[in-house]
Chains A and B, each alone.
Chain A
């Protein structure tokens, strides 16, 4: 029974991660991530006052201890963080590429644009 719940949980983790990974950085995904963060913070704060409650929820899910539940949530949030950071880096890299290319092309010599009489030897 427990292994079944665990498989379902792992699948949920993977699916949520992939969905957020693929979504890129539009506003809806940003909102979803923020909601998840707030939920996570609330659960973490509540667990300080009611540690038994968290363990109870974990038992219902077949995980055993409340700390394990927190650990799983941490792993999910880390994966999402990794994915969104990767996306952001890709976008940044793309911007840098376009900018560098513009500079490279603007600075380049264009032999066909120079009148024939002063073309001279190549630089």
Chain B
């Protein structure tokens, strides 16, 4: 999370009844998000400086893997755009042995309303990653994912900013786990819209991927 003090508490409180072990990676917030997260009952791991979402994701995976009893790792955005029941259903599929990785997708059904421009950009990103990796994803940039620990241990994200989503798909394609997509709903609130990814940022994503 990076400066999400107004929402992170309620997100964590929503998660705790279903998932008792919530770790919140603070990416150098300056608005007291750390305290809000601790008070809500999460373990907070604090980056000393702001590094980016990809770096936070990798830190979270490494922290979760250091727990010897971990059996599934859920990545869940701190801004409240994901639903706990989606995460629960995805973990159930891991526990049932159906797959090693469950990736959320907002495009498997019509429940999530996405503007046509955003839909176009995300579709192009998905097609690009399909051509580059052979993984037929419908939504490459969805933050809700569940990993089986042995798969998570093989992920090493080096893209600190937003290009980590594409990088993750590339690495999964190399690891070749059993993967499935789960239809999930993205809750676009005024808050997440105001903080969310500007479409212009897709230019930065392309540049990061090209010049790595």
The docked-state distance in angstroms from the alpha carbon of A90 to that of B68 is 33
A45 within 8 A of B: no
* Known contacts A122-B42, A123-B38: A97-B62 contact under CB 8 Å: no
* Known contacts A101-B62, A104-B59: A109-B43 contact under CB 8 Å: yes
- B211 nearest CB neighbor, chain A only: A86
**B46 contacts which chain A residues (CB < 8 A)?**
104, 107-108
Shortest CB distance B81–A (Å): 24
B158 within 8 A of A: yes
The docked-state distance in angstroms from the alpha carbon of A90 to that of B47 is 18
- B157 nearest CB neighbor, chain A only: A97
A103 within 8 A of B: yes
The docked-state distance in angstroms from the alpha carbon of A123 to that of B69 is 21
The docked-state distance in angstroms from the alpha carbon of A96 to that of B63 is 18
**B149 contacts which chain A residues (CB < 8 A)?**
none
**B69 contacts which chain A residues (CB < 8 A)?**
112
**A104 contacts which chain B residues (CB < 8 A)?**
25, 45-48, 59
> Does A105 contact B62, Cβ atoms closer than 8 Å?
yes
**A96 contacts which chain B residues (CB < 8 A)?**
49, 51
Within 8 A of B (CB), among A78-116: 86, 90, 93-94, 96-97, 100-101, 103-105, 107-112
The docked-state distance in angstroms from the alpha carbon of A94 to that of B43 is 25
> Does A97 contact B55, Cβ atoms closer than 8 Å?
yes
Within 8 A of A (CB), among B145-174: 158, 160
The docked-state distance in angstroms from the alpha carbon of A107 to that of B41 is 17
> Does B43 contact A105, Cβ atoms closer than 8 Å?
no
> Does A103 contact B212, Cβ atoms closer than 8 Å?
no
Which residues of A line the B interface, CB within 8 A? 21, 86, 90, 93-94, 96-97, 100-101, 103-105, 107-112, 122-123
A-B contact pairs, 30 of them (CB 8 A): A86-B211, A90-B212, A93-B160, A94-B158, A96-B49, A96-B51, A97-B51, A97-B158, A97-B160, A100-B47, A100-B48, A100-B51, A100-B55, A101-B55, A103-B48, A104-B47, A104-B48, A104-B59, A105-B63, A105-B66, A108-B45, A108-B46, A108-B63, A110-B66, A111-B43, A112-B67, A112-B69, A122-B38, A122-B41, A123-B43
7 extra A-B contacts, CB within 8 A, seeds A21-B211, A109-B43, A122-B38: A96-B51, A97-B160, A101-B59, A104-B25, A104-B59, A110-B67, A112-B68
